[in-house]
């Protein structure tokens, strides 16, 4: 009997699941706290807690991780030397890399050389910074039309330095030179970290005697082998929500469904349609940087099981920051519960996010760098045992600076402890994983401030979280709807209820506690599947092999000339002289649109099949779908631009080609099925 192991290293928890290959049965599952800054510790703990009898026969391990996302958000990536080739417009604040240079070169939109490449400049820059960087990235103007200059820069740098080089065209064929440059830069930052992460997992697997292949989940819900994962770590950003979405579909057997995943830090909403995750029209944005990475379209809010619940001016707030729940802190820190019972509450006049009757602070273990004077004096009185604001006040013998305390939290030197939705569920008896007494004590402290009972506080908080979940779902499904309208729809005061036609799958630890409240707010088939608490680990394992290739066909015009042609005719009248086809492998020119389309389609299919073959799929296990999006001047004419999109999905079915051919090509005796689409090109 053979098994597969799925692992998801999330922001709060690391989940693991073992699935039997023969029938997809979940044999064992585990959930552990994620370890920072290196998630390997949590991954090892999860594997240790799983049944060793199954582990011996595991032949496949698939992982999703927040490592790339957190590295970018925390700005802890390795230094990169960036080469920008062509006529870039750099923002006033400069490019985000410390080491970068802008050189002559690049191409036009038709793939013609705009200027010769400054090879001497490439060599000079590479030799100047090679001892200060861990990798290089290069982005050339219109490299998505012609990649010659990027490839030449890559060749030069490798010869001179031996360091890895990331090219913009390798990551995206979309228009947008600066965004490609950002994507390549971020990807290069992640290379050393990803190599270490993958090597650590492979070593751990090997040390356990497991003879298994290792895969990683991408942020579009597909899985890739280690070779591509090592080259393109940027594509693993937001792989956690992607894993949850794919896992929701697998656990419920719904090919089309919406998913609401309540994690420790946030709530994510996404949609899978006919077995394929719905993707965003825009590239993934992480840490304020817009990338060209294809990711699932999702709605994310800062409400999770570990969101901080705090009070001010007789009102309560949820988040956006996460804290260690009181119930968990009581199990992590010896004597914390007794200290909590004895601790005095701060004055109501001082209450704010960081000054609460239920909030405590403890060091994270990271070494301090460049602290302000107020931060340093507060840091000195916070040790390995949690302390409250009042404790800090008494030790300093003066009122602590709230700004200084907040600075320590932002620098990740201090971790906060506080009341959370997880604590509220402990109070209500709907979740009992940790110390309920600590949660009850926290609810009593908040109830006293709000003049309510602890049960009323917990119930109110539970309903608020459920409403936030419903609001996120409505916002995702109905584009452009405003928050006041959503709030009005969810009140239930207008004899109406928002109806969702597709099943809604809830994932997350104690998410079943919110099912009934959600059903009161929206009209939907809301499902909490078995193993909902580890749905993302399931998704990390069952993500399909999906490969997308986009090929652009573009007309090349020449103006009409002649003595009898007017100025207006010269300006507007053009004739087609050729068709450019831009593929990930380069540029080709054809005299006829039909030939260009055939080449674009066939090249895309060849790239798909080569990829699938390397991923272990046979020809009869791949379903290929070809669609097109067109930019047309007049209806019925050949398009000015055609984007041919080829998608390959690894399945157990025979090859089924769903093709799209224009009507004007049918008239030329090319038969196939048709579909419609349009897009705006530049």
pLDDT of residue 584 exceeding 90, the answer is no
Residue 439 pLDDT > 90: yes
**Residue 480 — very low, low, confident or very high, per pLDDT cuts 50/70/90?**
confident
User: Domain 76-193 adopts which CATH fold?
Assistant: Rossmann fold (3.40.50)
pLDDT the model gives residue 566: 54
pLDDT of residue 82: 95
> Is the pLDDT score of 671 beyond 50?
no
pLDDT of residue 158: 94
Average pLDDT over residues 199-228: 84
Q: Check residue 482 and give its pLDDT.
A: 82
pLDDT at 226 over 50: yes
Residue 200 parent element (H or E): helix 177-207
More confident residue, 42 or 674: 42
What pLDDT score was predicted for residue 327? 94
| pLDDT the model gives residue 680 | 30
What per-residue confidence (pLDDT) applies to 174?
A: 77
String of b and e for 309-330 (b: at least 16 CB within 10 Å)? bbbeeeebebbebbbbbbbbbb
| pLDDT value of position 558 | 57
The percent of residues above 70 in pLDDT, for the chain, comes to 90
612: phi then psi, degrees, rounded to nearest 5: -65, -35
pLDDT of 39 > 90? The answer is no
Please give the pLDDT value at position 634. Answer: 67
Predicted confidence (pLDDT) at residue 664 exceeds the cutoff of 80: no
**Cα gap 361→364, rounded to integer Å:** 10
pLDDT at 326: 95
- Residue 633 pLDDT grade (very low, low, confident, very high; cuts 50, 70, 90): low
**pLDDT band at residue 567 under the 50/70/90 scheme:** low
Give the mean model confidence (pLDDT) for residues 261-284.
83
- Residue 198 confidence (pLDDT) above 50: yes
Q: What is the mean pLDDT of residues 56-85?
A: 84
User: Where residue 679 falls among pLDDT bands split at 50, 70, 90?
Assistant: very low
Judge contact between 388 and 378, C-beta under 8 A.
no
* Average pLDDT across the chain, whole number: 83
Q: Mean of the pLDDT values across residues 394-404?
A: 89
Residues 6+ apart with CB under 8 A from 164: 135, 136, 188, 191
Q: How far apart are CA 514 and CA 145, in angstroms?
A: 50
Lowest mean pLDDT among 174-178, 436-440, 542-546: 542-546
**Sign of the C-alpha dihedral computed for residues 207, 191, 297 and 40 taken in this order:** positive
Please state, in angstroms and rounded to a whole number, the distance separating the CA atoms of residues 671 and 675.
Answer: 13
Using only the alpha carbons of the chain, give its radius of gyration.
28
Residues in the chain: 682
Q: Which two tokens stand for residue 300?
A: 């994310």
Q: Give the pLDDT of residue 137.
A: 95
The candidate with the shortest Cα–Cα distance to 612, out of 224, 219, 173, is: 224
Domains of the chain, residue spans: 76-193, 546-666
Query: What are the beta bridge partners of residue 310?
Result: 317
140: nearest Cα among 187, 110, 105: 105
Confidence at residue 656, expressed as pLDDT on a 0 to 100 scale: 36
Judge whether residue 47 has pLDDT over 90.
Answer: yes
Q: Is the pLDDT of residue 257 over 70?
A: yes
Residue-wise pLDDT tens digits, 139-153: 999 888 888 999 999
Please give the structure tokens belonging to residue 485. Answer: 């309208």
**Sequence-distant (≥ 6) Cβ neighbours of residue 609 within 8 angstroms:** 619, 622, 624, 648
* Cβ-proximal residues to 394 (8 Å cutoff; 6+ apart), any chain: none
> Residue 616: what pLDDT?
67
Given pLDDT bands bounded at 50, 70 and 90, which one contains residue 651? low
Average pLDDT for 357-371: 86
* Gap between the Cα atoms of 422 and 513, Å rounded: 11
Establish whether the linkage from the previous residue to 285 is cis, with ω within 30° of 0: no
Which has more pLDDT, 541 or 100?
100
Q: Which residues pair with 324 in a beta bridge?
A: 417
Kindly give the pairing relationship between strand 522-523 and strand 498-499: parallel
pLDDT attached to residue 533: 85
Give the rounded distance of the alpha carbon of 412 from its chain centre: 22
Which pair of tokens denotes residue 612?
Answer: 């699938």
- The H-assigned helical ranges of 573-619 are 593-614
Q: Comparing 230-239, 336-345, 509-518, which segment has the lowest mean pLDDT?
A: 230-239
pLDDT bucket at 663, cuts 50 / 70 / 90: very low
Q: Which one, of 130, 189, 191, lies nearest residue 159 by Cα?
A: 130
pLDDT at 672: 31
Looking at residue 467, the DSSP 8-state letter turns out to be H
Contacts of 529 (CB under 8 A, 6+ apart): 248, 251, 252, 505, 507, 535
Chain position carrying tokens 């107020």: 374
Structure tokens at 221: 């819900």
Percent of the chain with pLDDT over 90: 28
**Rounded to the nearest 10 degrees, how much is the dihedral formed by the CA atoms of 434, 437, 442, 445?**
180
């Amino acid at each position: 009997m053979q098994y597969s192991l799925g692992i998801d290293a999330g922001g709060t928890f690391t989940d693991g699941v073992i699935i039997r290959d023969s029938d997809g049965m979940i044999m064992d599952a585990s959930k552990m706290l994620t370890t920072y800054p290196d998630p390997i510790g949590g991954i090892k703990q999860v594997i240790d807690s799983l049944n060793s009898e199954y582990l011996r026969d595991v032949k496949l391990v698939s992982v999703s991780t927040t490592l790339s996302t957190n590295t970018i958000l925390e700005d802890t990536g390795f230094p990169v030397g960036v080469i920008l080739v062509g006529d870039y417009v750099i923002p006033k604040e400069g490019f985000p890399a410390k080491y970068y240079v802008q050189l002559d070169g690049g191409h036009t939109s038709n793939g013609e050389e705009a200027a010769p490449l400054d090879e001497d400049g490439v060599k000079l820059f590479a030799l100047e910074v090679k001892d200060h960087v861990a990798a290089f990235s290069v982005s050339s103007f219109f490299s998505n039309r012609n990649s010659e200059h990027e490839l030449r820069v890559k060749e030069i740098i490798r010869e001179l330095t031996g360091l890895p080089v990331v090219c913009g065209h390798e990551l995206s064929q979309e228009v947008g030179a600066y965004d490609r440059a950002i994507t390549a830069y971020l990807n290069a930052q992640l290379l050393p970290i990803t190599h270490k992460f993958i090597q650590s997992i492979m070593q751990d697997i090997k040390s356990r005697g497991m003879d298994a292949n290792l895969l990683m989940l991408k942020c579009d819900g597909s899985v890739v082998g280690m070779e591509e994962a090592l080259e393109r770590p940027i594509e693993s950003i937001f792989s956690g929500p992607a894993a949850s979405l794919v896992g929701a579909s697998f656990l419920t057997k719904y090919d089309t469904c919406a998913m609401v995943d309540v994690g420790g830090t946030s709530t994510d909403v996404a949609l899978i349609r006919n077995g394929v995750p719905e993707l965003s029209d825009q590239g993934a944005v992480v840490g304020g940087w817009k990338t060209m990475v294809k990711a699932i379209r999702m709605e994310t809010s800062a409400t999770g099981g570990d969101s901080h619940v705090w009070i001010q001016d007789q009102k309560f707030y949820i988040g956006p920051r996460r804290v260690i729940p009181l119930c968990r802190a009581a199990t992590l820190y010896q004597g914390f519960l007794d200290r909590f019972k004895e601790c005095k509450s701060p004055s109501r006049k001082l209450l704010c996010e960081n000054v609460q009757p239920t909030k405590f602070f403890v060091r994270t273990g990271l070494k301090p760098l460049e602290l302000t004077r107020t931060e340093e004096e507060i840091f000195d009185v916070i040790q390995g045992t949690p302390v409250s604001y009042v404790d800090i006040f008494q030790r300093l013998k003066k009122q602590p600076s709230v700004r200084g305390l907040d600075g320590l939290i932002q620098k990740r030197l201090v971790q906060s402890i506080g009341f959370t939705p997880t604590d509220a569920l402990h109070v209500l008896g709907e979740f009992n994983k940790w110390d309920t007494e600590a949660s009850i004590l926290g609810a009593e402290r908040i109830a006293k401030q709000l003049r309510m009972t602890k049960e009323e506080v917990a119930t109110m908080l539970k309903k608020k979280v459920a409403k936030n979940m419903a609001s996120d779902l409505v916002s995702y499904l109905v584009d452009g709807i405003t928050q006041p309208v959503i709030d009005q729809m969810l009140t239930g005061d207008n004899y109406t209820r928002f109806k969702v036609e597709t099943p809604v799958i809830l994932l997350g630890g104690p998410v079943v506690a919110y099912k009934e409240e959600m059903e009161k707010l929206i009209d939907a088939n809301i499902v909490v599947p078995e193993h909902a608490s580890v749905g993302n680990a399931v998704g990390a394992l069952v993500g399909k092999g999906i490969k997308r290739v986009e090929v652009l066909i573009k007309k090349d015009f020449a103006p009409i000339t002649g003595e009898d042609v007017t100025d207006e005719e010269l300006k507007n009248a053009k004739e087609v002289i050729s068709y450019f086809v831009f593929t990930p492998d380069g540029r080709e020119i054809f005299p006829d649109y039909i030939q260009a389309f055939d080449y674009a389609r066939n090249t895309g299919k060849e790239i798909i099949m080569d990829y699938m073959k390397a991923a272990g799929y046979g020809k009869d296990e791949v379903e290929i779908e070809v669609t097109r999006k067109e930019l047309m001047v007049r209806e019925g004419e050949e398009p000015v631009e055609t984007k041919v999109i080829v998608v390959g999905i690894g399945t157990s079915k025979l090859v089924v080609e769903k093709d799209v051919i224009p009507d004007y090509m049918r008239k030329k005796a090319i038969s196939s099925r048709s579909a419609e689409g349009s897009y705006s090109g530049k």
